[in-house]
Structure 1
Amino acid sequence: MKNLNHWCCLLILAVLSPLVHAQQLSGELKKWHKVTLTFEGPEASESDEFNPFMNYRLNVTFKHAATGKEYLVPGYFAADGDAGNSSATSGNKWKVHFAPDEEGAWTYVVQFRKGNYVAVSDRKDTGVSGEYMDGATGSFQIGASDKSGRDFRAKGRLQYVGERYLRFTESGEYFLKSGADAPENLFAYADFDGTFHDDGHKDQLVKTYEAHLRDYRGGDPTWQDGKGKALIGALNYLASEGMNAVSFLTLNIKGDDQNVFPFTDYDTYDRYDVSKLDQWEIVMDHAQQLGLFLHFKTQEVENQGLLDNGGVGAHRKLYYRELIARFGHHLALNWNMCEEVGDWVKNNRTAPQFKYQKLAMAQYFYDHDPYRHHVVIHNGAPFYDVLGTESKYTGASLQTHHKNFDLVHPHTLKWLKASKEAGKQWAVAVDEPGDAQHSLVPDKDDPEHNLARQNALWGALTAGAWGLEWYFGYKHDHSDLTCQDWRSRDLFWDQCKIALDFFNALPFWQMENHDELLSTKDYCFAQPGEVYVVYLRTGGSTVLDMQTEGDFTIQWFNPRTGEYLKKPKKLTAGKVTLEAPKKGDDDWAALIKR
Structure 2
Amino acid sequence: MLDLVSAIVLCILAQPSAEQTPIVGLYRLFELAIVNNKPYANRFTDVDLTVTYTAPSGKKVDFWGFFDGDGRGGGDAASGNVWKLRFMPDELGRWTYAYNWTDGTPGAAGSFVCVKDGAGKGILRPYKDNPHWFAYNGTEPVWLKSYYETGHGSIAQDIDWIVENVYKRLIDRGYNHLQVNWLLSLCCFNQYYLDGPQPQTLDLTLYKDGTPSTSMRLDVWHMMERHLRFLNDHDVAVHMFLGFDGAKNQGPAWARLDRRQQEFYVKYVVSRLSPFANLGCWNFVWEVEGNRQDHELAWARLIRKYDVFGHMITYEDECPRDNFYHLPEYDLAAVENHLIAGPNKQIDRLHWKDPWTHHMAVIASFVGKPVFMSEGNALWRRYWHERTGATQDDLRRAAWACATGGASFCWNGHLKEYELYAWGPTGLPFGQDHPYADSARYVDILADVMTNKVQFYRMRPSDELLSRHDPMRVWALAEEGRQYLVFAGHGEPFAISLAKGNFVDNCWIDSRTGSQMPIRPISVKEDRQVRRFLPPSRSTDWVLVLVAEEIAGGRTGTTLQSDPEAAYTQTILERAERIVDMLGLDDLQKAMQVRDAIADQYRSLRDIHDTRDALIKSAKANGADSEIKAIEQMAKAMQERLHVRYIQQLSAILNQEQVDRVKDGMTYNLVQVTYQAYLRMLPNLTDRQRARIMASLVEAREQAMDAGSAEEKHAIFNRYKGIINNYLSAEGYNLKQASEALRSGSRSGSQ
User: Which TM-score applies when normalising by structure 1?
Assistant: 0.73
Aligned AA (2:133)? Y
Spell out the pairing of 1:434-473 with structure 2 (5 A cutoff). 434=377, 449-454=392-397, 456-465=398-407, 467-470=408-411
Spell out the pairing of 1:47-446 with structure 2 (5 A cutoff). 50-65=41-56, 67-83=57-73, 90-113=79-102, 128-129=103-104, 131-133=105-107, 136-144=108-116, 146-147=117-118, 153-161=119-127, 163-169=131-137, 172-183=139-150, 186-189=151-154, 192=156, 227-233=158-164, 234-249=166-181, 250-251=183-184, 253=186, 263=206, 268-270=211-213, 271-297=215-241, 298=243, 299=245, 302=248, 306-307=252-253, 309=255, 313-332=259-278, 333-342=280-289, 354-355=292-293, 357-380=295-318, 382=320, 386-388=324-326, 391-401=328-338, 402-416=352-366, 419=367, 425-434=368-377
User: Whole-Å Cα distance in 1 between the matches of residues 86 and 173 of structure 2?
Assistant: 31
Residue 484 of structure 1 corresponds to 421
User: Whole-Å Cα distance in 2 between the matches of residues 110 and 262 of structure 1?
Assistant: 31
User: Whole-Å Cα distance in 1 between the matches of residues 143 and 292 of structure 2?
Assistant: 31
User: Whole-Å Cα distance in 2 between the matches of residues 26 and 89 of structure 1?
Assistant: 32
Aligned AA (2:263)? K
* 2:541 equivalent to 1:587: yes
Using a 3 Å threshold, how does the CA distance of structure 1 residues 542 and 440 change in structure 2: closer, same or farther? farther
Structure 2: give runs of 5+ residues left out of the alignment.
1-11, 192-201, 339-351, 431-436, 549-751
Which structure's residues are more often strand, by fraction? Answer: 1
Aligned AA (1:590)? L
* 2:444 equivalent to 1:497: yes
How far apart are residue 556 of structure 1 and its match? 1.2
Number of residue equivalences: 483
Deviations 1:513-554 (A, max 9, x none): 111222212011000111000111111321111143545442
Residue 554 of structure 1 corresponds to 506
* 2:467 equivalent to 1:512: no
> Does the 8 Å contact 1:27/1:34 carry over to 2?
no
> Does the 8 Å contact 1:166/1:174 carry over to 2?
yes
Using a 3 Å threshold, how does the CA distance of structure 1 residues 404 and 167 change in structure 2: closer, same or farther? same
Judge which range, 433-442 or 504-513, deviates more: 433-442
User: Whole-Å Cα distance in 1 between the matches of residues 232 and 380 of structure 2?
Assistant: 31
* 2:10 equivalent to 1:21: no
Q: CA RMSD in A?
A: 3.4
> Does the 8 Å contact 1:312/1:360 carry over to 2?
no
How far apart are residue 568 of structure 1 and its match? 4.6
How far apart are residue 461 of structure 1 and its match? 0.6
> Does the 8 Å contact 2:406/2:460 carry over to 1?
yes
Deviations 1:308-353 (A, max 9, x none): 526772222222222222221111321111111249xxxxxxxxx8
How far apart are residue 408 of structure 1 and its match? 0.7
Aligned AA (2:358)? V
> Does the 8 Å contact 1:308/1:315 carry over to 2?
no
2:81 is paired with a residue of what secondary structure? strand
Using a 3 Å threshold, how does the CA distance of structure 1 residues 449 and 461 change in structure 2: closer, same or farther? same
How far apart are residue 433 of structure 1 and its match? 0.5
How far apart are residue 43 of structure 1 and its match? 5.1
Which structure's residues are more often helix, by fraction? Answer: 2
How far apart are residue 307 of structure 1 and its match? 4.5
Using a 3 Å threshold, how does the CA distance of structure 1 residues 341 and 27 change in structure 2: closer, same or farther? farther
How far apart are residue 508 of structure 1 and its match? 1.5
> Does the 8 Å contact 2:159/2:226 carry over to 1?
no
Deviations 1:192-221 (A, max 9, x none): 2xxxxxxxxxxxxxxx5xxxxxxxxxxxxx
How far apart are residue 415 of structure 1 and its match? 1.1
Aligned AA (1:137)? A
Residue 578 of structure 1 corresponds to 533
Q: Which has the higher contact order (CA 8 A, sep 6+)?
A: 1
> Does the 8 Å contact 1:301/1:340 carry over to 2?
no
Using a 3 Å threshold, how does the CA distance of structure 1 residues 304 and 274 change in structure 2: closer, same or farther? same
* 2:47 equivalent to 1:40: no
The percent of aligned pairs where both chains have the same amino acid is 20
> Does the 8 Å contact 1:301/1:341 carry over to 2?
no
2:133 is paired with a residue of what secondary structure? coil
User: Whole-Å Cα distance in 2 between the matches of residues 577 and 427 of structure 1?
Assistant: 31
1:526 is paired with a residue of what secondary structure? strand
User: Whole-Å Cα distance in 2 between the matches of residues 88 and 239 of structure 1?
Assistant: 37
> Does the 8 Å contact 2:380/2:411 carry over to 1?
no
Deviations 1:451-505 (A, max 9, x none): 1111x2111011001x212257xxxx73245433274433122221221121122
Using a 3 Å threshold, how does the CA distance of structure 1 residues 312 and 586 change in structure 2: closer, same or farther? farther
User: Whole-Å Cα distance in 2 between the matches of residues 569 and 498 of structure 1?
Assistant: 22
Using a 3 Å threshold, how does the CA distance of structure 1 residues 37 and 154 change in structure 2: closer, same or farther? closer
User: Whole-Å Cα distance in 1 between the matches of residues 123 and 47 of structure 2?
Assistant: 29
User: Whole-Å Cα distance in 1 between the matches of residues 228 and 523 of structure 2?
Assistant: 50
Aligned AA (1:280)? M
Judge which range, 583-592 or 305-314, deviates more: 305-314
> Does the 8 Å contact 2:152/2:189 carry over to 1?
no
Using a 3 Å threshold, how does the CA distance of structure 1 residues 305 and 30 change in structure 2: closer, same or farther? closer
Using a 3 Å threshold, how does the CA distance of structure 1 residues 179 and 306 change in structure 2: closer, same or farther? same
User: Whole-Å Cα distance in 1 between the matches of residues 251 and 152 of structure 2?
Assistant: 22
How far apart are residue 512 of structure 1 and its match? 0.7
How far apart are residue 382 of structure 1 and its match? 4.7
> Does the 8 Å contact 1:29/1:141 carry over to 2?
yes
Using a 3 Å threshold, how does the CA distance of structure 1 residues 282 and 551 change in structure 2: closer, same or farther? closer
Deviations 1:80-117 (A, max 9, x none): 22338x9999431110111111111212121322xxxx
User: Whole-Å Cα distance in 1 between the matches of residues 514 and 78 of structure 2?
Assistant: 52
Using a 3 Å threshold, how does the CA distance of structure 1 residues 34 and 550 change in structure 2: closer, same or farther? closer
> Does the 8 Å contact 2:504/2:521 carry over to 1?
yes
User: Whole-Å Cα distance in 2 between the matches of residues 446 and 383 of structure 1?
Assistant: 23
2:145 is paired with a residue of what secondary structure? strand
Aligned AA (1:545)? S
Deviations 1:275-307 (A, max 9, x none): 321222121111123332111232355269954
User: Whole-Å Cα distance in 1 between the matches of residues 258 and 145 of structure 2?
Assistant: 32
User: Whole-Å Cα distance in 1 between the matches of residues 249 and 325 of structure 2?
Assistant: 23
> Does the 8 Å contact 1:159/1:373 carry over to 2?
yes
Residue 11 of structure 1 corresponds to none
Structure 1: give runs of 5+ residues left out of the alignment.
1-19, 114-127, 148-152, 193-207, 209-226, 344-352, 420-424
User: Which TM-score applies when normalising by structure 2?
Assistant: 0.59
1:548 is paired with a residue of what secondary structure? strand
User: Whole-Å Cα distance in 2 between the matches of residues 504 and 288 of structure 1?
Assistant: 22
1:91 is paired with a residue of what secondary structure? coil
Using a 3 Å threshold, how does the CA distance of structure 1 residues 101 and 337 change in structure 2: closer, same or farther? same
How far apart are residue 248 of structure 1 and its match? 2.3
